[in-house]
Structure 1
Amino acid sequence: MKKYALITGASGGIGQAVAFKLASLGYHLYLHFNQNKKTIKELLRSLEPFGGEYTTIQANLEDPDGYKKICSQIFSLDAIIHCSGNSQYGLLVDLKQEEMESLMRVHVMNPVMITKELLPKLIKKRSGNVILISSIWGQTGAACEVVYSTAKGAQISFVKALSKEIALSGIRVNAIAPGAVETAMMGQFTEEDKQLLQYEIPMGRLGLPEEIANGVKFLLSEESSYITGQVLSINGGWYT
């Protein structure tokens, strides 16, 4: 039986790794992106050997109505993986209101609305998964990333609440909280900064996008069939 998954932020480092992992498992994919058209085209080429159906959807999740463009193009569905994200590094007092609102729309409002609009498709099947890629900072908070931490914490609360609401419908809702991962988002830090960061991590290195994708694979599998409302921390022991 065909299985379909929506991946938001599929052109990002973690999104690409998740797409590759799910394609290798036989999933057909809806791949959301915003501006990285070149990257999404390269991803499509890399997925060709798996022989699935891969549909790209362009939508700006900084737009309050960004979710509508995505939801209008989704038909059959078995899983939603929210990977979209951006960050603003700096003191809270220096952030502009529009920057804060953008972060909340990308990380909270649009993911919640996407899930809300698409849930009936999963409820009708009485099965499915919703996974949010949150962050270690949603668990413990980070100075100079206060609003980002707030948004990621909201994702975790959403997972805990929604999982209880729809458990009897056969749908599981979980989050993954990565630590520092080798993606473009780390590009705002110097090599010296990243080296110092690695000293703080018990395993002594940054995570890889593929390791986050392995967590997604586990949460989608029958091996995790009694797991819902949980946060899987993949952080090298940085926060326990």
Structure 2
Amino acid sequence: MAGSVLITGGTRGIGRAAVKAFARAGWRVAFTYRENRAAAASLLEEFSHAVALAGDVSHRDEAERCVAEARVCLGPLDALVCNAGIAQQKMFCDLTNDDWDRMLGVNLMGAVHFIRAVLPDLIHKKRGSIVTVSSVWGIEGASCESHYAASKAALIGLSRSLAAELGPSGIRVNCVAPGVIDTEMNAAHTEDTIRTLAEQTPLGRMGTAEEVAQTILFLCSDSASFITGQTIGVTGGF
């Protein structure tokens, strides 16, 4: 049964596809964005009942404000999708403290802040779903992206731990680990790198943001009512 969902990082890539997938499935949707007002506005033109919330997920006070605003507009939340994330390619020896702080602040602590803020709704209802968006690199590791891979691996550990802790409250927590997906984030790679990664994928192509979004939607739906603590790879077999 559709309910209300908050999706972080909803204006591009997987997040944008998730906003569209949930809205088309009849969910009441709120999504966050940091700066891209034009992209947020274009979503609202297509889905007039969606709610756009500006804020930096790495700041706890802004996360709490976004959740409070979503609650006012949608009522108590039924699901949370922690999708907001950043990437950076840099040799480990060249990474600065600021690089690490920003990467972990957005990718890991952003999820922590939103989960903390949304949990009272889910615990009160004794049901609900949380989905975090990790990466195949959080499982396999990634050369020249050690801080990115570490932040994504941390999301897997966080999700599995919360699944065990929150299961008795009827709350499901799962993680999606996309592979090589055709998004702006991967567009930073060279054409040769993209081609090589696609060739290393058994299905022989990059995935789409929509394919990942459908997996997230499934995990939040009643069709996944007995699935928790899992890391689902949407990787084409990579």
TM-score when scaled to structure 1? 0.93
For 1:123 and 1:202, the matched residues in 2 are separated by: 41
Residue matched to 2:227: 227
For 2:216 and 2:175, the matched residues in 1 are separated by: 9
Residue matched to 1:87: 87
Is there any run of 5+ residues in structure 1 with no aligned partner, and where?
none
SS of equivalent residue, structure 2 residue 5: strand
Residue matched to 1:56: 52
For 2:207 and 2:159, the matched residues in 1 are separated by: 23
Question: Where do residues 90-109 of structure 1 align in structure 2 (5 Å cutoff)?
Answer: 90-109=90-109
- Specify whether residues 81 and 92 from structure 1 end up closer, same or farther in structure 2 by C-alpha distance, changes over 3 A only: same
User: Residue deviations 1:90-148, cap 9 Å, x none?
Assistant: 11111111111001011111211210121010111111100001100111111111010
- The one-letter code sitting in structure 2 at the alignment partner of 1:135 is S
- Specify whether residues 172 and 2 from structure 1 end up closer, same or farther in structure 2 by C-alpha distance, changes over 3 A only: closer
Q: What is the total number of aligned residue pairs between the two structures?
A: 234
Q: Would you say the 8 A contact 1:62–1:103 is kept in 2? A: no
SS of equivalent residue, structure 2 residue 32: strand
- The one-letter code sitting in structure 2 at the alignment partner of 1:99 is D
Residue matched to 2:237: 237
- Specify whether residues 219 and 72 from structure 1 end up closer, same or farther in structure 2 by C-alpha distance, changes over 3 A only: same
Q: Would you say the 8 A contact 2:8–2:81 is kept in 1? A: yes
1:30 correspondence with 2:26: no
Is there any run of 5+ residues in structure 2 with no aligned partner, and where?
none
Q: Percent identity?
A: 32
Alignment RMSD: 1.4
Displacement after TM superposition at 1:197 (Å): 1.5
Q: Would you say the 8 A contact 1:164–1:229 is kept in 2? A: yes
Q: Would you say the 8 A contact 2:11–2:39 is kept in 1? A: yes
Residue matched to 2:17: 17
For 2:129 and 2:140, the matched residues in 1 are separated by: 25
For 2:215 and 2:68, the matched residues in 1 are separated by: 28
Q: Would you say the 8 A contact 2:14–2:183 is kept in 1? A: yes
TM-score when scaled to structure 2? 0.94
- The one-letter code sitting in structure 2 at the alignment partner of 1:199 is E
